Amino acid sequence: MDSENSRPVTGARKNISASEIAEYYFCSVAWYMDKNGYQRETSSNKRLMTGQVSHQKLGKSIESSDRLIKGLVVGVLLLIAFLVAVLI
């Protein structure tokens, strides 16, 4: 039994990703078929792979931007500390 809500647990729990929820929302039949081993059409696989590559590129771009912003913030803080030290 699951102690949180007192219902039987039928198997190992799996985290559900946001993309999986979106896939289910877009087409629950496609989601079901994918989860149960049905083969996709070749064109669907190509679009899926293209989308995954695009998401990876976007993720790398966001990570680079985050590092740049953090570096700029550290630089500004160091500049402020330097100016305070010089003026005191």
Would 12 be classed as within a structural domain?
no
* Number of separate domains in the chain: 1
pLDDT in tens, 35-55: 888 887 777 778 888 988 999
49 vs 81: CA distance, rounded Å: 48
59 vs 64: CA distance, rounded Å: 9
pLDDT given at position 10? 57
Would 2 be classed as within a structural domain?
no
Would 10 be classed as within a structural domain?
no
- Residue 11: pLDDT over 70: no
Would 29 be classed as within a structural domain?
yes
76 vs 85: CA distance, rounded Å: 14
Contact 52, 60 (CB under 8 A): no
Rounded to 10 degrees, the C-alpha dihedral 8/17/39/28 comes to 70
Residues 6+ apart with CB under 8 A from 2: 8, 9
Confidence of residue 2 (pLDDT cuts 50, 70, 90): very low
Confidence of residue 78 (pLDDT cuts 50, 70, 90): very high
Would 8 be classed as within a structural domain?
no
| Average pLDDT, integer, range 12-16 | 73
Instruction: Provide the 3-class DSSP secondary structure of residue 59.
Output: helix
Domain that holds residue 24: 18-87
